[in-house]
Structure 1
Amino acid sequence: MKKSKSLLLMIALVLVIGTALAGCGGNKANNGNTASPTNAAGNTNTGSGDEKLAADQTLRLNMSADVPTFDPGQAQDSQSNVALKLMYEGLVRIDKDGKEGPGVAEKWDISADGLVYTFHLRDSQWSNGDPVTANDFVFAWKRVLDPATVPAPPYAQQLYYLKNAEQFNKGEIKDFSQVGVKAVDEHTLEVTLNNPTAYFLNLMSFYTYFPVHKSVEGNEKWATDPKTMITNGPFTLTNWITGQSVEYTKNDKYWDKDDIKLNKITATIVNEASTEVLSYKNGEIDRAGAPNGDIPPDQIPVLKNELPDDFTLKAIASIYYYEFNTKAEPFDNAKIRKAFSMAISRQDIVDKVTLASQVPAFGYIPPGIKGASEGSEYRNDYKDDFFKEDYTEAKKLLEEGMKEKGYTTLPPVTLIYNTSEGHKKIALAIADMWKKNLGIDVKTENQEWGVFIKNRQNGDYQVARAGWNPDYNDPMTFLDMWKTGNGNNDIKFDNAEYNKLLDDAYKEVDNTKRMESFHKAEEILIKDEMGVMPIYYYTQVSLQKPYLKGLVSQYDGTVDYSKAYLLEH
């Protein structure tokens, strides 16, 4: 899901305070110059003077929201991503350098035409001792694509790279053996693609492609009870009190268990950012902030000065935006959507509200995402200049849109956001701008994470806060979510030209032509239709104790806790 890359303009905004390298949402802690510890049980020197492992290898965190699902086939959010990457392992893992490395597959072969991948699986086990086989991947992928699976997996389209996967998912093909995945034997998985896909190996680390144990068949509630969750990753879920806490324990059946130093990871579930920071200061947790936690914006300047060795602010390849439900009044009119987007000041939001050096966004694809050539970035090749903030023009567009809709007054508008002090402050600031610049009263409403996600999925909203972390390093991950029928298409966007541009990009081998298709699609999404309202490109803030090491940060802000360890302190 993640590779490392964020240069030029974004690099200029990166503030690394002190010696800690903890990324703010994707966190990194001294995983560059010190050797990894080799003995989880003793006081082995870790390669940095007299540093030694702590006797108690329990990492303590906070999560700002509960995990909506522990089912890899149903997941689609950041909290699930953190949990599932502890509990499961795919064919490939992303290493500390952002490169694809061996996971369940110890090696692979790629055909000369780039269409056939043959994965050779190592001897590995599920947490109950059963062997992990190629058939477990076939079973899991079929489960995601099967049109009979209820609820329908939101990320089924992520598997459309496989030959005939889309046709099977849509019921046009009934025989799954025609889909491009088969178990040659227990240790060999053969995957056939529709088209060469440069980032396909990267996708093999994404949770929708994780294997699932066959014991889940016929048990609809298997992912709600730790006792029925048989997993193959570095940790197992051993305790879960909904809305209060989760506990992960080292999986002694994991093939690479000798390289896992933590014995446990415990996390409270508290959605008050100020409480999380207080817990950190009181020594109750070892890390605070993104990606799984939160820090109040108004505390950022204070914490930077108060805890310089713990504080990090990092630019990442992600975007913060608002979604318009294009099928709900009044936002089923493009002029009204454009008016709302043009009537705010993004610079004021990042300077006076968020306070974390974010970059105002006037496009959808952020800096840090790969471009056409090696070492290039899409955002450097195609500027995000799809619209301008213009309050006079916004009022004019609003009047025109209302006339087209036959409105004398605008229907009541509600903006929803998931519970967070930061999201609340942004929502209130934007609502105030809409009132001042458009004369519109907008109600703001916070919702618990699980409820919020379902309401967006079901289209039960008008305007909603959103953010997107890439699933892989390519513009496609930001744009294909708005294709008609995509499980992540919460805005209910339906544009035939947009769909065709992305279909063409799927098939195109010439990377320059692919990027041109992406640019045209982004122009339709933002300039022509304003299906979403870009606000800013993310930075992430975190606090990390100096004795916490080994976390792996990625270009998009995600963090891998599995190789972390604690030093004596």
Structure 2
Amino acid sequence: MRTRTTRLRGLVAFAAVSVLALSACGTSGGSDNEGPESSPGFAECEQKPNDCNTGAVKDGGSLTIMSEKSIQDWNVISADGNTADTTLITNALIPQPFFSKPNGDIGWNENLLVEEPKLLKNDPQTWQYKIKPEAVWSDGTQITAKDFQYHWKVANGTDCPDCDPASDTGYKSIEKIEGTDNDKTVTVTLKAGELYSDWQSLFQLFPSHIAAQQGDLNTPAGLKKAFDFFRGTPTWSGGPFKIEKYETDVSVVLVRNEKWYGKKAPLEKVTFRIITDQAQHIPALRNQEVQMLTSQPSPDLVQQVSSLPGVNFNLAAGQTWEHFDLNTTNKYLADKELRRAIFTAVNRQEIIDKTVGSFYKKAAPLNNHNLMPGNQGYKDYITPTNQGAGKTEDAKKILTDAGYKIEGGKLIGKDGAPVPPFRFKYTTGNTLRQQSGELLQAQLKQIGIDISIEPITSLGGTLNNGDFDIIIYAWVGSQFIGDNVALWRTGGGSNYGKYSNPEVDKLLDAAARELDKTKQRDLFNQAGELMAKDAYVLPLFQKPAMIAVYSQFLNVRNNPNNSGTTYNIQEWGEKA
């Protein structure tokens, strides 16, 4: 999810936190690294990802987790705030009907709901949530249908046109949300003729009564004020913890929410310590200044973690994937032939071998924009395009056939003027992405293209503002791919490079409405084949997610999906 994440929906990842466990396949094609991907204490996670590290825990205690990125925006359903790192914290505050388990299966929120929500009918598509009578916000106000209605209104693109949700997919198809039984039964009905296969991915709950204090929620202006209000530090919670203290760029301290309606969380306090310099992560873990890391893995980090006594670690890969994006609003990159040449010159295997492949032997080139290897319907449509294969001469031919020239090692445009350097952006402190940029720089130099490498501190802001020419980040996915429409469709909330292809739009719209999963995947593959030919985003590889935690903590495990490691934070504790 940047690894985005509306938890079950597509997340931008600052760090890799959402991957389908155990679904990676292939080898790095050059790395001789055969090191372990789990410590003995986490060895059972390979076969039992949902249940490993389970045990009886005592009441009390605290845990401090390392967080790699600063928080730019607390509103995780906004385009800026929808990031994996922030979601790791807000999982403890924001209720959601469904969540992703470590093995990629979908679970329903048994703390919030009386029963598992199910479809009532398909014409019009209708489903229902039954909220527990005891489910309340931290100020004692009931969690009700109004909280579902708030998310719908700010995300549907109509009621609040100036809101900037990360995705409107699904929400724009809703005709009405009704509350009955004192607003504890929530009935969602789609518009006539509309279908949405990934309905379980919808809704993160914010307190509508607090939103209403900012303005009239029946007006665009009032909704916008509420939407912007939630960008600030949450003073409320509907989860097992609440924020006691937030120091910008320093730490977030969570304590038990005394109004929590589920089983009391064993831990009294969970602290997220923000340290963007990864060189400080291992010393902090070694000195027990923190007891847990979910850091971006690197060769040095993995090697050091694996040698720390009393620390369990695990690497797993699945639905999180790294990619290069090109900004089509750049007048040069608006030319499809130039984009094709750039991607044809990129050598993904070299990038893998010299970065992630040095410590994760399963890393391999990814050849699909929406489905991961091992997922039903996965199709390789990238290889036939020669993109990512490092075919420099083929790239040069694409350029010369299109009217470009390479003179004196510089690419000359169709107008006879040199093509200026492109700005390559990556999140500061991410060594692997910096190295990927340096390798890309050398690869593109062979076809006369220069790039300047620029670290950024705000991935969300950079993406939302389109302040890049080439950028590297990751999407955190789940088995719900319908929401991926927002990544690729013209005007999509997460289509940061402003890609547009009317044929792709038609296929994506059809995919979002298709209830048959096999047909839906086929439609996404058809769209993906066209997208590959347009050379807008080049998939690189599935990212491994890492967790390292001291062995006295139980019920903590890697969850390489967009719900993230904190999906079950209310169960964490110290050994009894």
SS where residue 563 of structure 1 aligns?
helix
Amino acid at match of 1:10: C
Alignment partner of 1:396 is 2:397? yes
CA deviation map 1:132-172 (0-9, x unaligned) = 12222213322333646485223341343643xxxxxxxxx
Note if contact 2:92-2:570 (Cα within 8 Å) is conserved in structure 1.
no
Alignment of 1:151-550 (within 5 A): 152-160=163-171, 162-163=173-174, 179-185=175-181, 186-194=183-191, 195-201=194-200, 203-204=201-202, 208-217=203-212, 219=214, 220=225, 222-223=229-230, 226=233, 229-258=235-264, 260-289=265-294, 293-304=295-306, 310-354=312-356, 355-357=358-360, 358-367=363-372, 370=375, 377-379=376-378, 381-382=379-380, 384-388=382-386, 389=389, 390-401=391-402, 403=404, 405-420=414-429, 421-435=431-445, 437-449=446-458, 452-470=459-477, 472-526=478-532, 528-550=533-555
- Supply the distance in 2 between the matched residues of 1:468 and 1:4 (Cα, whole angstroms): 9
Counterpart position of 2:147: 136
> Corresponding residue for 1:62?
66
Task: Select the residue among 108, 124, 127 that pairs with 1:117.
Answer: 127
Contact 1:70 1:83 in 2 (8 A): no
Structure 1 residue 281, shift from structure 2 partner = 1.6
TM-superposed CA distance for 1:299, in Å, is 3.7
Distance 1:313 1:352 in 2: 18
Asked if the contact 1:320–1:535 (Cα under 8 Å) also holds between the matched residues in 2, the reply is: yes
TM-score with structure 1 setting the length? 0.82
Q: Report how far residue 507 of structure 1 moved.
A: 2.7
Q: Which residue of 1 aligns with 2:222?
A: none
Write out per-residue CA displacement over residues 258-296 of structure 1, whole angstroms, 9 at most, x where no aligned residue: 2x112111122111111112211221111123xxx3344
Question: For the structure 1 residues 302 and 5, does the alpha-carbon distance in structure 2 shift closer, same or farther, using more than 3 Å as the test?
Answer: closer
User: In the TM superposition, what is the alpha-carbon distance from 1:106 to its structure 2 partner?
Assistant: 1.6
8 Å CA contact retained: 2:100, 2:561: no
Quote the offset at 1:122 in angstroms: 0.4
Q: 1:452-511: CA deviations, max 9, x gaps?
A: 3222212222111121011x4133344441101111010101110000001122233443
Superposed CA deviations along residues 155-192 of structure 1, whole A, max 9, x for unmatched, are 341343643xxxxxxxxxxxxxxx33121242111011
What are structure 2's unaligned runs of at least 5 residues?
Answer: 1-6, 9-17, 29-34, 215-224, 405-412
What secondary structure sits across from 1:497 in the alignment?
A: helix
SS in 2 for 1:106: coil
* Aligned residue in 1 for 2:407: none
Select which of 19, 27, 33 maps to 2:40: 19
CA–CA separation in structure 2 for the residues paired with 1:510 and 1:294: 36
Taking a change above 3 Å as real, the CA distance of residues 161 and 378 of structure 1, as seen in their structure-2 partners, is: farther
Q: How many residues align?
A: 515
- From the superposition, tell whether residues 150 and 365 of structure 1 become closer, same or farther in structure 2 (CA, over 3 Å): closer
User: Partner amino acid for 1:82?
Assistant: L
Query: Partner amino acid for 1:214?
Result: H
SS state of the match for residue 479, structure 2?
A: coil
| Higher RCO structure (Cα 8 Å, ≥6 apart) | 2
| 3-state SS, counterpart of residue 157 of structure 1 | coil
Superposition deviation, residue 93 in structure 1: 4.3
> Take 2:573 and 2:516, find their aligned partners in 1: how far apart are those partners?
47
Which aligned runs of 4 or more in structure 1 are off by greater than 6 angstroms?
Answer: 11-14
Give me the identity figure in percent: 18
* TM-score, normalised with respect to structure 2: 0.81
The structural deviation recorded for 1:70 is 1.9
Distance in 1 (CA, whole Å) between partners of 2:524 and 2:187 is 30
CA 1:32 to 1:83, structure 2 compared with 1: closer, same or farther past 3 Å?
same
SS at match of 1:488: coil
Q: Distance in 1 between matches of 2:481 and 2:465?
A: 26
User: Post-superposition shift, 1:413?
Assistant: 1.2
CA RMSD, 1 decimal: 3.1
Aligned with 1:105 (options 88, 113, 119)? 113
Could you tell me how far apart the structure 2 residues matched to 1:11 and 1:240 are? Answer: 42
- Contact kept in structure 1, 2:154 and 2:165, CA below 8 Å: no
Q: Aligned in 2, Cα 1:96/1:491: closer, same or farther, shift over 3 Å?
A: closer
